[in-house]
A and B are shown apart, each in its own frame.
Chain A
């Protein structure tokens, strides 16, 4: 069986005033097609760095290991090539783009990805129809499409906008970096439904979260516990409950 996503010995550093500070210290992770995996871990364990490195942010220096995505060397690809290949990162802190209209940006992104995938681009009418339907499914007020990207959005609106982008870009592999943070329970349910709607044998996801709560709505196939840039333990969904009960400190001292 050829792995869908395979991370082997991934190590990365970030520049810290001229010194290379190690953040990822050898990540091994395999995510088969159609599965949703969760990563949990304390602050500073490297979860967000992992998501950025997978999406191609160049602030990080990959110092070892490899990532293969559907048989391709993911680390050799530009961020936009990764997006075209089907990788999507829902940002923990979605970026504001003043002066950039949300609908126009989304259409530019969707058509860039469709073009790269050899699919027909949406015309303005097709796009608006699809975007409105996707926004409605996420209970997003339609005026968010008319505003500038994430500018003046509430925390919950930003997260919904991320999920809207995800739905429209139709990724094969989505990374959700603390998409639950700052969401009330209703918003959490809506966002989770957005993710669950994509579930299929052709869609995999890596859900990064602090809290077990999100995993009640997006039930993972596997849960991984991360600390100090490594995966310390992997298990089924019950691992999340164990973590919730014990806390990271208790769990980590036991694991060590």
Chain B
């Protein structure tokens, strides 16, 4: 496929050139050209987002512009195995849990342990929907691997791990997960790595009637990486999507959730915590669409920011005219541990129904000097007192994760973050 650009278009969209060139180079090795060409066409017309676009005002993707996206050498198997072993031990993961491990964007059969209760059919095929989002378009265009998972009617599939290890280049994984009626699963996703890479994983999820998904993510991508994850989920009647995203890694990260409540009495939770230091930026952007009556959505997002780090929260709740008796709640809080740390918080409520309960709130502040003094006056050293207060602040969010083992993985990650030099 050749993409013809007029001069004025080129000025605006040239910043996606590196990725488009990469697609041209590998197109013949990929299938499903219809969706990919459409995505490439979208990207060539729109380019990568700029901060002049409202949705990207607080998160600058400039570091992805124009960059040449040539082949990067994949991580040697021995390095992947030791990275996985280290991660497994540090996170306290159970060796018996089924897991799919992707190394530099490709499934590693050697490191994976296929689940018995979840059907896996390889690449999570992109949905037919036309791309409407730069990261979705990028992923659709370049995705070469991923998992297509299905939990059958009424089956409780327990816990399953989805692990992404990166060392260079682009990790464009495309996953699809279907929970049939009454099915349940705890999906624990961990992303880790080293080096300069882009991890733009997309997961499309169908939660059917009465199905329940606990989706817990630990984003600890390498310090020089860019992490751009997308969750697109639809929830049918009495279904439940309970998501938690812990953002610790990457130089620049954006986790985006688009959830649609399509049947009565559905539940969506988009909770999270962002723990950032240095010059890190992490963004949690969500859109929860209430398209049916009697549904509830909850968001509790906590930020702990040190150095010159910046946290971003953009939370949109849309309540369609039909979605009476909606119960929506959104809270974003930031603990600023340094003078130069920053939080940008943007709640948006668009309510078209007239009998709903929706509330949102945001707070930002430093540690409480009086609380610190109280603890120190009882003999607790200052550093320990600060840690106790930060952990208490995070507990409100971490405590929302129902699965005890998944919560334990999060708590270990928080403890590691606190103990690491910053």
**Cross-chain contact A112 with B395 (CB below 8 angstroms):** no
| CA distance in complex: A165, B381 (Å) | 16
Contact residue among B369, B371, B377, B384 (Cβ-Cβ distance under 8 Å from A97): B371
Q: Mark A86-118, 1 if CB is under 8 A from B, else 0.
A: 001101001101111000010011101100100
- Whether the pair A97, B395 counts as a contact (CB closer than 8 A) is no
Task: Kindly state the separation between the CA atoms of A105 and B380 in the bound complex, as whole angstroms.
Answer: 9
Alpha-carbon distance A109/B388, docked complex (angstroms): 11
Stretch of A53-61, A123-131, A207-215, A240-248 that contacts chain B: A53-61
Q: Give the nearest-CB partner of A94 in chain B.
A: B374
Q: Does B374 lie within 8 Å of A83, measured CB to CB?
A: no
Binds B, one of A41-49, A74-82, A231-239: A74-82
A116-B392 contact given A59-B369, A95-B370, A95-B371, CB 8 Å threshold = no
Complex-state Cα separation, A79 to B381, whole angstroms: 8
A191 within 8 A of B: no
> Which single residue of chain B is at the shortest CB-CB distance from A166?
B378
Bound CA span A167–B406, Å:
39
Docked-complex contact B376 and A83, CB < 8 angstroms? yes
| B374 adjacent to A109 (CB under 8 Å) | no
Q: Kindly state whether residue A36 has any CB partner on chain B within 8 Å.
A: no
Question: With A95-B370, A97-B374 known to touch, is A109 a contact of B396 (CB < 8 Å)?
Answer: no
Q: Which of A55-75 contact B (CB under 8 A)?
A: 55-59
Nearest CB of chain A from residue B389's CB, rounded to whole Å: 8
Kindly list chain B residues whose C-beta atoms are within 8 Å of the C-beta of A112. 379-381, 384
Is A84 in contact with chain B by the CB < 8 A criterion? yes
A80 with B381: CB separation less than 8 A: yes
Residue among A79, A82, A91, A112 facing the most chain B CB atoms (10 A cut-off) = A79
Distance of A88 Cα from B376 Cα, bound (Å): 11
Q: Within the complex, what minimum Cβ distance (angstroms) separates A102 from chain B?
A: 12
Query: How many residues on A have C-beta within 8 angstroms of the other chain's C-beta atoms?
Result: 29
What CA separation (Å) do A89 and B376 show in the bound complex?
Answer: 11
The answer to whether A78 touches B382, judged by C-beta atoms less than 8 angstroms apart, is yes
Which residues of chain B from 114 to 136 have a CB within 8 Å of any chain A CB? none
Identify which of residues 383-412 in chain B touch chain A, using a CB-to-CB cut-off of 8 Å. Answer: 384, 388-389, 391-393, 395-396
- Which chain B positions have C-beta within 8 A of A97? 371, 374-375, 388-389, 392
Q: Are B396 and A99 in contact (CB-based, < 8 A)? A: yes
**What CA separation (Å) do A6 and B379 show in the bound complex?**
22
B392:A84 contact, CB within 8 angstroms: no
Give, as a whole number of angstroms, the nearest-CB distance from B361 to chain A: 16
* A79-B377 in contact given A108-B384, A112-B384 (Cβ < 8 Å): yes
The reply to whether A79 and B373 form a contact with Cβ atoms under 8 Å apart is yes
Contacting residue for A169 out of B369, B375, B379, B381, CB 8 A: B379
Q: Chain A residue with minimal CB distance to B390?
A: A99
Closest to A55 in B: B377
- Choose among A91, A94, A99, A116 the residue that contacts B379 (Cβ–Cβ < 8 A): A116
* Interface pair A83/B377, CB less than 8 Å apart: yes
Chain A residues with CB under 8 A of B378: 83, 88, 105, 109, 113, 165, 169
Q: Which of A78, A95, A110, A165 has the most CB of B within 10 A?
A: A95
Q: Which residues of B contact A (CB under 8 A)?
A: 369-371, 373-382, 384, 388-389, 391-393, 395-396
Q: Can you offer 25 A-B residue contacts whose CB atoms are under 8 A?
A: A55-B377, A78-B376, A78-B382, A80-B379, A83-B378, A83-B379, A84-B379, A88-B378, A89-B377, A91-B374, A95-B370, A95-B371, A97-B371, A97-B374, A97-B389, A97-B392, A98-B392, A99-B391, A99-B396, A100-B388, A100-B389, A100-B392, A109-B380, A113-B378, A169-B378
Q: Which residues of A contact B (CB under 8 A)?
A: 55-59, 78-80, 82-84, 88-89, 91, 94-95, 97-100, 105, 108-110, 112-113, 116, 165, 169
